[in-house]
Amino acid sequence: MSLITRTTSQAFQYASFVAIGLVLSFITFPIMTRIFTVEEYGQLALFNAVLALLIPFAKSGMTTAVIKEYAQIANAEEKPALYTSSLSGVVFCSFCTFIVYYGITLFAKEYVALDVDYYLLIVAVLLLSRTVLSLFASFFRAEEKVLLLGIISLTSRSGTMIVSIAACVLLKKGLYGYLLGLFVFEAIAALALALHFQRKGDLNIKRISPQLLKKLFIYGIPLIFFEVSSLLNDYADRFFIQYFLDSAQLGIYSVGYNISTYIQGFITGPLWMTIFPIYTKLWESEGRKKTTEYLEVLLKYYLCLAVLIICGVLSVSEEFIVVFATEKYLLAAQIVPLVTASILIYGTYHITGAGFFLLKKTKIIAGYTMCCALLHAALNIYLIPNYQIQGAVISAMISYSVLTALITLHSNRILRLKWPVKDLAVYLSFALVIGLLAHRLKTGSAISLLVLRSLLITVLYVAALFAYDAKLKHTAIAWVRDKWLQRKKGSVG
């Protein structure tokens, strides 16, 4: 199996589970907006932002470092030492992170917690459970067990939603009941997976290696600043909007931004989950040239798909908001296309920044990300008071674009990739013409317009793409034929 076919196959498996997860998110979204007050929904957004900013410190880059180290394992006997050492590292870092957070709450509790008396324990357990679950997911990624990881992730996500909403409704405790449901389910899920790996023999406290743990920390710690900076780019605007405007504006902005994040997650989530283990092993086994060729092909088709998604979002953003979030959030339709374009452009760093991860230059990418996070904050302070939530959108576009340019230009000194400028121009031309045609379709309800425009754009774009790229067409046909033959053989067997 070629690397591109292997990547496509694994990415489609990831994407299938991500798509199901998105469906679950859009099912629960209208439920949550109804069971929470506006204030509670804003508090939940801030709670998630605080927890998200704490998790990178708890992970300490272990989730990425363990995949990098797994590619260098000589035999299966070394795996328990790697897994056990990394788990002990994240448990220790989670404890230290919570202690620091607890200390901060004593001085600034109105900014870092919703209600310290009720939520500190929930933060502590969720911080540990989510960090451990993220590490276990990295174990599956390193072993390329895509199907198993997808099933576990989907089960965890759906279970979390069901238990949390049920706890909120049955206990009649509002946001506190919801978070209590998260507390219980995620703790059980983390414990169950720990027992799974322990029974396989992959976790053994006697196999903890201080030398290996030090090696993992050396690689992973610079990633803390990269992750935190990335999260500040994602979440800092929520705090500024809450400070300068109000909860209603934050709600509208959060809806638009969350939808853009869901869309972005559908493409970059499966991509990153798939390609990092593959190009790491390719680099170790076949060197720079093959890795560069692989990444250049990926970049070309990532941009191809990103252009299709941006075209679709521009055409159906209003209908999308009306169908999934009701008309009271219609103003968010102005946010979705611009934010989606920004974060999809930023998503190219998974490919263009590969050299930083392969050659352990993560301090550089962390520095650039922190600088752009500070730029994002400064822009928010100026733009939000003057341009309301549109100012936050402009700030996000500028900071993401600058960061993408910095990462790409510097990474080229380490691992030079050729950008498919001609192909990108063709994709944009296709999208422009097809988008204008789709926009002329104006009859019907919001849901019918959403479906019809989406189908029209997808069919026309794929047809134009296959006419332009014969190699892609033949590869797609061969892939579909192989899958069909496999299923046919399976049914006969």
Closest CA to 380 of 368, 370, 391: 391
* pLDDT 10s digits, 431-451: 999 999 998 888 778 888 888
d(CA 417, CA 344): 18
pLDDT, residue 6, reads: 58
| 492 pLDDT higher than 60 | no
pLDDT, residue 38, reads: 62
Summarize the confidence of residues 404-425 as an average pLDDT: 89
Summarize the confidence of residues 286-299 as an average pLDDT: 89
* pLDDT 10s digits, 366-403: 788 888 889 999 999 999 999 999 999 999 899 989 99
- Has this prediction a pTM greater than 0.95? no
* pLDDT 10s digits, 118-167: 566 677 778 889 899 989 988 888 887 777 777 787 788 788 888 888 88
Of the given ranges (109-123, 143-157, 316-330, 467-481), which has the lowest mean pLDDT? 109-123
**Arithmetic mean of pLDDT over the chain:** 82
Q: In this structure, what token pair is assigned to residue 182? A: 């998260």
| 425 pLDDT higher than 90 | yes
Residue with token string 């100026």: 382
| 429 pLDDT higher than 70 | yes
d(CA 171, CA 165): 10
Provide the pLDDT confidence category of residue 474 given band limits of 50, 70 and 90: confident
Distance of CA 218 to the CA centre of its chain: 24
| 42 pLDDT higher than 70 | no
**How many percent of the chain have pLDDT more than 90?**
22
Summarize the confidence of residues 41-53 as an average pLDDT: 79
pLDDT, residue 243, reads: 83
Of the given ranges (280-284, 293-297, 322-326), which has the lowest mean pLDDT? 322-326
90 within 8 A of 138, measured Cβ to Cβ = no
The sign of the dihedral angle between the CA atoms of 379, 381, 384, 386 is negative
| 300 pLDDT higher than 90 | yes
Helix axes 210-244, 79-112, angle to 10 degrees: 30
Distance of CA 114 to the CA centre of its chain: 25
pLDDT, residue 52, reads: 87
228 within 8 A of 56, measured Cβ to Cβ = yes
Q: In this structure, what token pair is assigned to residue 455? A: 């189908």
* pLDDT 10s digits, 216-234: 888 888 778 778 877 887 7
pLDDT, residue 112, reads: 45
**How many percent of the chain have pLDDT more than 70?**
87
| 113 pLDDT higher than 50 | no
Residue 283: CB atoms within 10 Å: 22
pLDDT, residue 413, reads: 84
223 within 8 A of 361, measured Cβ to Cβ = no
Residue 59 neighbours by CB under 8 Å, 6+ apart: 90, 93, 131, 134, 135, 220, 224, 227
* pLDDT 10s digits, 69-99: 887 775 667 888 889 999 999 999 999 998 8
pLDDT, residue 26, reads: 67
Summarize the confidence of residues 13-33 as an average pLDDT: 68
d(CA 395, CA 400): 9
| 344 pLDDT higher than 80 | yes
Higher-confidence residue: 1 or 140?
Answer: 140
| 105 pLDDT higher than 50 | yes
